[in-house]
């Protein structure tokens, strides 16, 4: 009860009456869509779909995960695999 009496008179305690406003974004933290429209850097590379389309990459990733990528046979498999189209 004492808190509600003070919140009416004290400007810093008015947040108890306006709690929903305090949970909203400020102007600075509001999500902005402007950065999505402007591309800062050109992407010179591959995305995961392009990488996984290459049979050699999938094979080398699997061999590396198994700890076999350094073997002579693994390198022979990768070199002789079909290239990506």
pLDDT tens per residue, the chain (85 residues)? 445 554 456 666 655 667 777 788 787 777 766 656 666 777 788 888 888 888 888 889 999 999 998 899 998 988 888 776 6
- Tokens 């808190």 correspond to 3
Q: What is the pTM of this model?
A: 0.45
> What pLDDT score does 20 carry?
79
> What pLDDT score does 36 carry?
61
Residue 60 lies in a domain: yes
- Domain span at residue 53? 44-85
**How many structural domains does the chain have?**
1
Residue 18 lies in a domain: no
Q: Which of 50, 59, 58 has the alpha carbon at shortest distance from 85?
A: 50
> What pLDDT score does 63 carry?
92
């Amino acid at each position: 009860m004492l808190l509600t009496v003070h919140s009416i008179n004290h400007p810093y305690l008015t947040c108890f009456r306006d709690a929903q406003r305090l949970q909203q974004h400020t102007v600075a933290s509001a999500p902005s869509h402007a950065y999505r429209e402007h591309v800062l850097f050109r992407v010179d590379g591959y995305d995961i779909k392009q990488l996984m389309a290459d049979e050699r990459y999938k094979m080398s990733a699997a061999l590396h995960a198994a700890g076999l990528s350094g073997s002579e046979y693994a390198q022979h498999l990768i070199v002789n695999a079909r290239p990506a189209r």
